[in-house]
Amino acid sequence: MSVSATDPSGSSGLTYTWTTTGSPPAAVSYSANGTNAAQSSTATFSQAGSYRFQVTVSDPSGHIASSSVTVIVNQTLTWIIVSPGSITVPAGGQEQFRGSAYDQFGSLMSSQPALSWSVKSGVGTVVSTSGLYTAPRSAGTATVLATSGGVAGTTSVTVSAPATVSASATFSLVSAWSTGFQAGITITNSGTTPISNWILQFNFAATITSIWNATFASHTGTQYVIHNAGYNSTIAPGHSVSFGFLGSPGGIPASPMNYVLNDTPIKATVPPSSPLSATVKFAEVDDWGTGFTGNLTITNTGASAIIGWTLSFIFAVSISSIWNASIVSHPGSKYVIENASYNAIIQPGQSVTIGFNASPGKPPSGPTDYVLNGVNIG
């Protein structure tokens, strides 16, 4: 800053004194002050903001004159600090990086600029607009870069080696109907280390229409890639996580195959089952002399679901129509019937009822010799 002043005795005897007035953001230092040389002085700031300067000029006789000027010191983006720094991320894991912009004085910028993110070198990917980093499923290192207006900040990432995966996947069918089904998959960690940020791949001929406790990553042909839901991303040793889904078409779908968990093939297991235990009850609903309507009710009295059923019995009548099942064969007085697509699954404690019309009316007794899925149930 410089100032001009005149005096009858000449300018060589003048003294120039600089001060700030009001409430400046911070103290200011001067290269020269309170001397004749301070006619031109360099002010050094330690903080951005608005400064009001007053210069007072005095001569040897004590006469003074003053002048004022306002100087606005703008923040200039000078540093970007990325946090966290020098972090270790598990293979396949994610880390949310954040950047803070600072001015020439080391103060946080009052208005933070938008940052552009990239992987400067090494492994993994980062979302350019948000700084969310995703590690590959193998060990390595990376340098993550945040930039704005030619200013850059970096942080280093170490991707730890993936833990050995030892696990199994179990498919279970909950229910099925004519147009769809409900099922689930349970992943069990049979290893000694936690499984983090799990991703499950498998082949499945059916179409999954909705899912819970997990999210879709991709579906190409018969291959599905399913991601954890976040809150169940870690499977502790000896523990399991399950997700459910709805699918189509109806009926009983073939089980998924070729399970791959976190890039490691794992085995498929079947749910434990107990011996089949069921009852069949016959009821005559209506009778008009030349014919009658009857019901057969199958009740699952066991501890495991009956998935797909075939029932045979002896009945010396002629069944002319049937619903909730279909007749597979009818040699003599023996009937073999099987489930419809929508009642193929009988959960423990549940029942399905088959209705039919038959003749002649007033049968002397009901069916006998019930055999369900090859098991004689009386």
Buried-exposed string 286-297: b where 16+ CB fall within 10 A, e elsewhere: eeeeebbbbebe
Per run of 10 residues, the mean pLDDT along the chain (length 378 residues) is 92 95 96 96 97 96 94 97 94 93 96 97 96 92 96 96 88 88 95 91 96 95 96 95 95 92 91 87 95 96 91 96 96 95 91 96 91 92
**What sign results for the dihedral spanned by CA atoms 169, 170, 174, 177?**
positive
Written as one string, the DSSP assignment of 218-248 is EEETTEEEEEE-STT--B-TT-EEEEEEEEE
Domains of the chain: 11-73 (2.60.40.10), 79-160 (2.60.40.10), 167-269 (2.60.40.290), 278-376 (2.60.40.290)
Separation between Cα atoms, residue 191 and residue 225, nearest integer Å = 22
The answer to whether residues 119 and 125 touch, using CB atoms and an 8 Å cutoff, is yes
Residues 256-283 have pLDDT tens digits of 999 999 889 999 998 777 889 999 999 9
- Please state the φ and ψ torsions of residue 293, each to the nearest 5 degrees: -110, 130
Residues paired with 336 in a beta bridge: 312, 329
Burial of 234 (0-12, 13-18, 19+ CB in 10 A): middle
Q: 193: Cβ–Cβ under 8 A, 6 or more apart, which residues? A: 163, 164, 237
pLDDT in the model for residue 126: 97
Assessment of whether the complete model's pTM goes beyond 0.75: no
Residues 53-91 have pLDDT tens digits of 999 999 999 999 999 999 999 999 999 999 998 999 988
Residues 23-36 have pLDDT tens digits of 999 999 999 999 99
Separation between Cα atoms, residue 276 and residue 375, nearest integer Å = 7
- Please state the φ and ψ torsions of residue 328, each to the nearest 5 degrees: -85, -45
**Prior bond to 84 cis, omega within 30?**
yes
**Separation in Å, CA 295 to CA 27, 181, 249, 372:** 97, 25, 28, 16
The answer to whether residues 256 and 159 touch, using CB atoms and an 8 Å cutoff, is no
Separation between Cα atoms, residue 337 and residue 76, nearest integer Å = 83
Three-state helix/strand/coil letters over 51-82: EEEEEEEECCCCCEEEEEEEEEECCCCCEEEE
pLDDT in the model for residue 285: 94
Joined together, the tokens standing for residue 198 give 């799990």
**Separation in Å, CA 337 to CA 175, 180, 296, 345:** 20, 22, 11, 15
Question: Taking the mean position of all CA atoms in its chain, how far away is CA 130?
Answer: 16
